[in-house]
Structure 1
């Protein structure tokens, strides 16, 4: 067999024939002076092919901007609730649909935070990044203002426990970009909103970590945490650890992506702050990090040679959010041997092209729509609405690495499944005991 079929250029040529590549966001003029609707405009020419160092980063940040801008720009203008078209699952339960707005904000901010934390520069990327950071800060001021029509609900329903946690994660990922610049009144309102959640207990599942990370955020900004709520998530998830990089979601193992959506990233980042404040040991943190690394090995191996991953379990409408654990371990520059940053970049780039360059993924105003690949409301779960979908941003965490980092500049490499199915040498895999 001729191994030349493995070359990136030929594979991507085939992919390009199969579907149109995402159009590039128009960059004419300065981002700060272009109306939000114009910023969402899509050019007709395709992005550069995947796997070519120097182009992948531009593809990533433009795509992240396309996904997140409807949330951040409308929030800054005080028009999120007015302009966000809310679509809910056909099986949507009795919870208030108004929880969808906090979902959109918390999840979007958690995904864009590392990128916004980078210093300003005068590149095209830098102009758009600064615009999004400015919008994000303005939006935070508005959505915690009692006089604003976009004020977010923390006081009723249980769902705010979830999405306060993602907003807390955003503040932990980018404190200097998203927390410190806020005025004192907004900070006080955010702190009060987080504390208001204490009258509702998280469910006995991955939800316990939502309580933990919200409390550890309060600890990080000088507030007294609810220590029982803080410790319970870490304690119970460790009790539910099943081995080989997988935690149970409650006492039982669920074969889905919640180890990536929630458990590994929140466990590791909660423990890091606890260590910094003398509430956990470095050994506990290193163990959690090792477990996330082991899980990331599995995630990298699950990406097929064609750049797809299995639609397993619930919440698959969160799309590439399923790969948050792999994305975070890459951001932390803690990829385990033998995974190289360039193979992760190449794999994730092709996954994004396959997933987001499909008719129906976005509506005509740029909002994400229910579905996995394209638009399919029936695949959504009973708790899923438009705001839920912005978990997709969580696979963009490596944008927090500078453009000069190895992740972005090293020549693209085949990932494990591509090597294996191409008859190339690839690393064997073994169970671990930690």
Structure 2
């Protein structure tokens, strides 16, 4: 990836954002009215993506940096919530937010308005990551009680793997050691017999990546079970039974593919994967991205089915990651993914229906709909929504952003344009 060479259309927009909403200013929480992206350029689309992601992530990142996350994060829960909310919701908010913003923060610094905004968030997040494992800080997070931290330590690990130069390497030695110890402490617990196996494995994979002792059994067990649970045409079961939901995108494909890729790197310890394993995982993820691109309707809506629909735009993590990796199939142009997701983000984040008066996400799919929350869903859980924004890790000069607007598959199909026939794949 190259350095960003010029401004990307944020001039005026971001300045107005700062002046009117106080975004990025101490003690001010962003309340943003986004513009309709119809007919916009790639630069304007990117500006909307940046504003949307910042709008979501800012309360978590800023409060963590200030040591006020536990003070200010709402503790809203679904009607059948069955966890100890104060033990889990804060780490959920942090791990999920950081995993989504990581590729964007990994971009090099520049003097554009976006670059300055990005640098400000990176600085606050690094302070927040230090606070999160400092026993003397009021926002020190729980890794040692309950099983849920297995999940969100994995999202933190994923963030460190996605942005090692921005988020891991700058941490001081004491803070790094505290994260390492926290991740190792998770070995005293087990979780659900489903996608949770991948969570535990990815954290161990990160420890291996940085040269620490790791548990190969957790890695091998997860890899072997995911092989058993593959059903075909890019779909994995989530345990012994198939579930029709977005967990293949929320968790399975991105974490599994990146875990195998990490294991292939030359690090101490025996590796139980091959380049062929990685190629298979990647091809399955690319195929799943095809499904996700096709389910985005011409008006930018998509189905609200299955568990955890309150994670909102995390449903498109696979599509975003494949775009970020520049591995989209030839018949799916980067611009059509950009335009489709821009329309989705406009629907979700153009207004404030998904935010409370202080800018925190509310329980629901598109609005305050607490009845849609699962038994494990609280406010912190919702910050998985950031995972839909991974292509912001592509520089503004990348064709994803510079190509002219393009219709996505369903928009082509419903307007009588030629569309490639879809058919199953076998790998």
Please classify the TM superposition score into its range, dividing by the shorter chain length: over 0.9
What is the root-mean-square deviation of aligned Cα atoms in Å?
1.8
Aligned to 2:17: 26
Q: Does 1:301 align with 2:294?
A: yes
Aligned to 2:6: none
Q: Does 1:229 align with 2:222?
A: no
Alignment of structure 1 residues 323-334 onto 2, 5 Å: 323-334=316-327
Aligned to 1:258: 247
Deviation at 1:48, TM superposition (A): 4.9
CA distance in structure 1 between the partners assigned to 2:393 and 2:358 by the alignment: 27
Aligned to 1:73: 62
Aligned to 1:127: 116
Aligned to 1:389: 382
1:17-46 residue CA offsets vs partner (Å, 9 max, x unmatched): xxxxx99971349x99722416x1436x73
Aligned to 2:107: 118
CA distance in structure 1 between the partners assigned to 2:424 and 2:393 by the alignment: 31
Deviation at 1:115, TM superposition (A): 0.2
Q: Does 1:42 align with 2:35?
A: no
Displaced runs of 4 or more, over 6 A:
22-25
SS in 2 for 1:250: coil
Which of 136, 141, 145 is equivalent to 2:125? 136
CA distance in structure 2 between the partners assigned to 1:54 and 1:41 by the alignment: 22
Deviation at 1:201, TM superposition (A): 1.6
SS in 2 for 1:26: helix
Aligned to 1:312: 305
Deviation at 1:75, TM superposition (A): 0.4
Contact 2:17-2:23 at 8 Å conserved across structures: no
In structure 2, the CA distance between the partners of 1:33 and 1:321, relative to structure 1 (3 Å rule), is: closer
What is the TM-score of this pair, normalised by structure 2? 0.93
Deviation at 1:430, TM superposition (A): 1.0
Deviation at 1:412, TM superposition (A): 1.0
Deviation at 1:398, TM superposition (A): 0.2
Deviation at 1:320, TM superposition (A): 0.5
Contact 1:75-1:143 at 8 Å conserved across structures: yes
Aligned to 2:404: 411
Q: Does 1:145 align with 2:138?
A: no
Contact 2:134-2:140 at 8 Å conserved across structures: yes
Contact 1:92-1:381 at 8 Å conserved across structures: yes
Q: Which runs of 5+ in 2 are unaligned?
A: 1-12
Higher relative contact order (CA 8 A, sep 6+): 2
Q: Which runs of 5+ in 1 are unaligned?
A: 1-21
In structure 2, the CA distance between the partners of 1:41 and 1:95, relative to structure 1 (3 Å rule), is: closer
More deviation in 85-94 or 156-165?
Answer: 85-94
